[in-house]
Every structure is written in structure tokens, then in C-alpha cells.
Amino acid sequence: DAKTTQPTSMDCAEGRAANLPCNHSTISGNEYVYWYRQIHSQGPQYIIHGLKNNETNEMASLIITEDRKSSTLILPHATLRDTAVYYCIVRGHLRGSNYKLTFGKGTLLTVNP
């Protein structure tokens, strides 16, 4: 799976949009971009994933550049409960052990009141 690079930490004001960047310049054509987050002392939570088109769900939006070498996770109206470590993961959709996820260090997003 391709490697990803994320900023170590970011701050965001409550109610404002949080934009979390991720670089994945070595991504291959069949690899998807996944985002998970982990609130302190809890298991990770799936947020969103995409291949090349922008995606939106009830939690967030995912913007993938045309060359697919980077992406941005957008939380439109951040709340204090969104404070967490956000992981950007690139992974193919193959069977068996390739279901597994490889976590990097992620970005610690702190939402301030």
C-alpha cells in the first residue's frame, strides 16, 4: 500500500470548517483513499473513502486532486467532539490479507471553543 504523509497536528475553531490534508504521491490506480479517526482511548472510526471522485457523507467530505497524489478531508462545522487523531490510509480493494489497514501517525486535530 502507498505511503501517506500528514501534518502532525492542526487546530480549528469550533463551528469552523476543518481541512485536513494528506499526501499520497505514490498511490496506484487501484488504490482507494480512506479516512479514519480515533478519539482518545477508543477504537478507530471509519469516516469516508474514495477512489478519484469527491465524496460526501453525513460526517465529512473528501476532495481528491485530479492526479490523485493528495486529498483533503473536510469537516464542515467542527465541534469539540471532533477532536481526535485523523488517519489517511491508502489501500487496494483486494481479498484476504489485503483487507488490512496500515496506520501512519495521523493528524491530531484539536477543536478549540
Partner 1 sequence: GAVVSQHPSWVICKSGTSVKIECRSLDFQATTMFWYRQFPKQSLMLMATSNEGSKATYEQGVEKDKFLINHASLTLSTLTVTSAHPEDSSFYICSAPSRGNNEQFFGPGTRLTVL
Contact call for residues 82 and 69 (beta carbons, < 8 A): no
Residue choice 10, 49, 59, 63 for contact with partner 1 (CB under 8 A): 49
**Residue 80 β-bridge partners:** none
The reply to whether 101 sits near partner 1 by the rule CB under 8 A is yes
Contact pattern from residue 8 through residue 47 relative to partner 1, giving x for each residue in contact according to CB under 8 A and a dash for the rest = --------------------------x---x--xxxxxx-
Residue 5 DSSP label: B
Distance CA 112, CA 78 (A): 9
Contact call for residues 101 and 36 (beta carbons, < 8 A): yes
The reply to whether 93 sits near partner 1 by the rule CB under 8 A is yes
In the bound state with partner 1, the residue whose beta carbon lies nearer, of 46 and 52, is 46
Dihedral angle sign, alpha carbons of residues 28, 66, 59, 24: positive
The reply to whether 97 sits near partner 1 by the rule CB under 8 A is yes
**Which residues contribute to the site for partner 1 (CB under 8 A)?**
34, 38, 41-46, 49, 87, 93, 96-97, 99-106
